[in-house]
Structure 1
């Protein structure tokens, strides 16, 4: 990735925020700063061949699309934006100067409000409560940003479909480099978690499989959506929910090393092929341990997700022990999404058949408590119906 356009754009954003704070309304320096943002952004969009530009701010790191921006160093504005509820920014081709000018002015307003609250009053929750200051009728058709911190409040407006390319990049990195970008995984989970909080029915966030080549990518995201929702229902805190989300997203990363002809085989696997498939939990754990940076739980879940609750499954355990609590959650969500999806070797199962399978496996393959919580969650959303 050519980082120069993104670096120049973010530099221009920082300069514009400073100019808008320093100069009064109508000063030419303000217009020049906004125009510089527009020009540098256009270079980013050109570099992306007309695709939507996505920026995620995680501490001092900036993720552009599916890659961490290494050449910028610590971008001091990133933590400040995140603290005001702007953890992610999407800009589509066709963005207008009015949209950019409003975004910059709104960002300054949020930064100033956060400064008045002081360090103890900032954070995501405070940032997400900042009111919408758009003029009546003003559209942000090409620009989306934010975070969701409180139920019912929209903040991150991005479509989950936009994260599929980023997930695909994680699996490509695992296959080609033997590691994943932990920062990118965290950015994807932030987007998924925000969408789950924003949605009144997370079942509507599940992406249908249209192309068998996308199975691993779509399945990973769907399992992450379900696992985040289930972890919240169990009562996990925010950091633990995100940890479960990353584990769910990466639980099958070891399959990136399994040949496509085996994964897509329509018939029964040979014993030799099955041996190769059964290596993916070990391969996944190795990839994630090698990646480090907060992926320890993900590595454990990748290793354990085919171990059964009663001590069976694979890989073999050297001594009797329970699986990690995060594994218990991810296992159920993994099986549910896998069975509802058409595969080369079988058709999709009906909802009733999947529910019966989960109930039958409770206490053997799955944690009985987690199965009941998961089925309660499903029933609640199915009764609610599509309301978004």
Structure 2
């Protein structure tokens, strides 16, 4: 399997829970085997300034073109919900929130971390070095995370007055039955250090290399030192996608910025904070957050587009001219190519109960642009 195939299959795992299903495709996504070669996180995550309309209400931003003018006068289409549901006014959420915690110390060889939004009030800071193929991820969240108990060793550690749980799997050959048959333990050395740093803030620090019998060069004491050296400091998310405004009552849910996708997801603002999924690890970004509204920029030939355009040949993805609107499994999506670069595609997908009209989704897709820090790569 090529690096590109690994990245494409991994990206579909990120999207499977909030995308409409094509026959047989999602089952294959969820069966995706994780390999020793994992896709790498690159260039950080997104800061978004957005343009979304519900019904005919819009908070406009200066400098928009004729597509935004269409947003101002758009009326609810067939996808708008009537009866008990009413359109929400649009609101400007501004830039995506950034974590207020950062590494204060790292072992030699680790570069500046990249940042991703892993859910409302949850972030992941990723960094890796060549020595020992060591990958580190600092997860920050508002809810208490689950703690692994087996097949590794779980011990209590003191973190300068805070009680921590250290889960440790030593160096071993990949596939050694002593460490089970599923990732992450089956792949090689792995560790998690979890603790409450302050009221309402939980930390999970993860170390792995997914390379079997290769020592990461990081000790238990190193993990404790990293944890106790965390500092109060903002780690800004990059400016990678620009949309406009979102329906009132929604808040930032996810931000991703990789070479196969730059995108943002939004969730109900009153949703209770959740712990970051245990499937979210440095070498396998498989955690997911169900979003009510998502905006994505893909390579125009990306396999993921088949999740929104049914009956497409996965080996020859073709986006029709103009903007196509599809309705699948309670979500309405608008798919178009980027006007500034037709080798990139934009997909805007919303739950039907948000009451966003087809015209509004279309205009939103046609006005989305990558920011200066976007990492997504155009189709070849």
TM range (shorter): under 0.3
TM-score in terms of structure 1 length: 0.24
Higher strand share: 2
Which structure exhibits the higher relative contact order, with contacts defined as CA atoms closer than 8 Å and separated by 6 or more residues?
2
Higher helix share: 1
TM-score in terms of structure 2 length: 0.24
Greater gyration radius = 1
